[in-house]
Amino acid sequence: MARAGYETARLRLARFRAEGAQARQLGARNALQISAVALGVERVGVWMFDSRATRIECVQLFELSTRSFRTSPPLHGREFPRYFAALRERRAIAADLAQSDPITAELAASYLVPNGITSMLDAPIIREGNVVGVVCHEHVGEPRVWMQKDIDFASTVADMLALVLEQADRLTLEASLGAHAEEALESQKTEALQRMARAVAHDINNVLTSLSLASAQISEHPDPKVENAARDIVESSRTISRLSRQLVELGKQRGAGATETDLIRSLEGQKATLGALLAGRGELLVEPRMGAAVVRMEPNELEQIFLNLCANARDALGDGGEVRIVVREPTSEDWVSHDQLVVEVVDNGAGMDEETRTHVLEPYFTTKANGTGLGLALVQSSILRAGGTLQIESERGRGTRVVFSLPRAA
């Protein structure tokens, strides 16, 4: 390629910007595609050293002919000592005849020949003075003689990727700091709410005790109107008592992970109850996509979570509704650690607008005529107290997806 073509490719690399959780992946893919086209090679891959620098693992591998990405098995330093030593010592490895070059020949039998690679141009990725990986340009077909301009461009790609990795790490750190600040603020709000909840529930129960005794005394009054009014008071007292118990639950500070519960077994035991809750409004589907699922949470708290979530889903369902509960392993899209498992509760109901979704986890916020606004607040409180996470996705007319994680039992 002419020098002008390389300069254009360098400019495209420099102008690329990516933010958010996928910055690392998007940056690597962008660099690989630009490099493959600019150098005219079939395969370009990013390989990173493991934590002990004993092997390199393929993060992304781009194939120009198919315009697709794939991965490849790792390469171990004990099997390719010369190649690994050169990665640490050289600014670039330019092997015109890769299958016979002294540095890369040891790769021939297991990697070069099976993939039809005749020439290699590798540039180490350097961060803070240390080689952390390598960008491998792999030519297929007639052997290729690498020019100095090719080597310079390959080194530029490696340097750009080092900047992408640094930017991704910075964004991850900033997001983590922001999350900790939000958690601290949320913790302060929760503690204040807990104190208020316990005080209010205590006072309510004292009043209810007196009210219930007085109502019981007049419930046998000969006048039917008085008798009916007394019974209404008793029923209302029971409703208020139930709400006060919810307040107490919201205000409790249990130790996280006090009890271990088999989530899937607990959910199976609840299927009949949850199905009856949805009867006439929708169908319940339970999909356990993993085996053992023992979590650190009280059984009654876990049951209450599913009851509240299914009750909310029921109220949003129309004709032919469906509520699906999935228990699965976490993926990279969940951004939770592998010592947790993930649960999805998905419905195809009315969904929520942005304004409602923003406030739906706030205590006492409700859009229902007879709602208390405590159901989802209790769900969130239980999950966060156990060390899990909660996320709600919803759009008007497109249903709601509640995703939460819980720590596995050790």
Bridge partner list, 295: 261, 408
Across 78-87, 340-349, 371-380, least confident range = 371-380
Note the pLDDT of residue 114: 94
Average pLDDT on 199-222 reads 63
Average pLDDT (96-110) is: 95
| For residues 247-252, average pLDDT | 57
pLDDT tens sequence across 356-380: 888 888 877 777 766 666 778 888 8
206 compared with 257, residue with greater pLDDT: 206
Dmax (CA) for the chain in angstroms is 108
- Averaged over 300-315, what is the pLDDT? 87
- What is the Cα–Cα distance from 121 to 138, expressed in whole angstroms? 7
pLDDT at 219 over 70: no
* Confidence band for 208, pLDDT divided at 50, 70 and 90: low
pLDDT tens digits for range 232-243: 666 666 656 665
Residue 121's DSSP bridge partners are 94, 137
- In the chain the domains, ranked by start, together with CATH numbers, are 3-173 (3.30.450.40), 255-410 (3.30.565.10)
C-alpha distance from residue 373 to each of 95, 250, 311, 326, 388 (Å): 68, 12, 12, 25, 21
Q: Are 138 and 117 in contact (CB under 8 A)?
A: yes
- Measure the CA–CA gap between 123 and 136, rounded to whole angstroms: 7
Confidence tier at 21 by pLDDT (50, 70, 90) = very low
Mean pLDDT of 39-52: 90
With a cut of 80, say whether residue 207 has pLDDT above it: no
Q: What pLDDT does residue 15 have?
A: 60
- For residues 42 and 139, is the Cβ–Cβ distance under 8 A? yes
| Distance between CA atoms of residues 207 and 244, nearest Å | 11
Q: If you ran DSSP here, which 8-state letter would residue 281 be given?
A: T
Q: What is the DSSP letter of 72?
A: -
Q: Per mean pLDDT, which of 14-28, 53-67, 292-306, 328-342 is the most reliable?
A: 53-67
Please tell me the predicted confidence (pLDDT) of residue 122: 94
Q: What is the pLDDT of residue 327?
A: 94
Is the CB of residue 98 less than 8 Å from the CB of residue 83?
no
Q: Does residue 246 surpass a pLDDT of 90?
A: no
Q: Sorting pLDDT into bands at 50, 70 and 90, what band is 97?
A: very high
Q: What percent of the chain has pLDDT over 90?
A: 30
Query: What's the CA gap between 185 and 390, in Å, rounded?
Result: 16
Closest to 388 in 3D by CA, of 313, 301, 326: 301
| Residue 17 φ/ψ, nearest 5 degrees | -135, 135
* C-alpha 30 chain-centroid distance: 23
Question: CB-based burial of residue 302 (10 Å sphere; 0-12 exposed, 13-18 middle, 19+ buried)?
Answer: buried
- What SS3 state is found at 186? helix
Residue 108 has pLDDT above 90, yes or no: yes
**Average of per-residue pLDDT across 304-310:** 88
The DSSP secondary-structure symbol of 16 reads -
What CA–CA distance (Å, rounded) separates 48 from 45?
Answer: 10
For residue 323, pLDDT beyond 60: yes
CA 371 to chain centre: 30
Quick one: 184 exposed, middle or buried, by C-beta within 10 A (0-12, 13-18, 19+)?
Answer: exposed
Q: Which band of pLDDT confidence, cut at 50, 70 and 90, is reported for residue 328? A: very high
Tell me the pTM.
0.44
Q: What is the pLDDT of residue 45?
A: 92
Tokens 């039809």 belong to residue: 116
Residue 195 pLDDT: 64
- Write out pLDDT tens, residues 141-191: 999 999 999 998 888 888 888 877 777 666 666 666 666 666 666 666 666
Q: How far apart are CA 218 and CA 392, in angstroms?
A: 48
* Element of type H or E holding 405: strand 400-407
Q: Which of 339, 343, 337 is nearest to 267 (CA)?
A: 343
* Rounded CA separation 47/154 (Å): 14
Q: Which of 314, 327, 212 is nearest to 263 (CA)?
A: 327
